[in-house]
Amino acid sequence: MDRAKTGTDTGTNAEAETGGAGEAAKSAPSALAAASRITIAHYDRSAERFWEATRDHDVRQNYEALLNAIEGDGPHAILDLGCGPGRDVRHFRSLGHDVVGLDGSAAFVAMARKLTDCEIWHQDFLAMDLPEARFDGIFANASLFHVPSRALPRVLKELAASLRPRGVLFCSNPRGANEEGMRGERYCCLFDLETWRGFVTAAGFRELHHYYRPAGRPRHEQPWLATVWRKI
Residues near 90 by Cβ (< 8 Å), separated by ≥ 6? 115, 116, 118
pLDDT given for residue 29 in this prediction: 78
Q: Which residue has the higher pLDDT, 8 or 160?
A: 160
Order of strands, sheet of 135-141, starting from the edge strand that comes earlier in the sequence: 119-122, 98-103, 77-81, 135-141, 163-174, 224-231, 205-213
The fold adopted by the segment(s) 47-231 is Rossmann fold (3.40.50)
Could you please report the per-residue DSSP string of 185-212?
TEEEEE--HHHHHHHHHHTTEEEEEEEE
Give the torsion sign (CA, 35, 63, 199, 161). Answer: positive
Task: List the domain boundaries for the chain.
Answer: 47-231
Enter the pTM of the model: 0.88
pLDDT of residue 9: 29
Q: What pLDDT, on a 0 to 100 scale, did the predictor assign at position 155?
A: 98
184-215 per-position pLDDT tens digit: 999 999 999 999 999 999 999 999 999 999 99
Confidence (pLDDT) at 7? 29
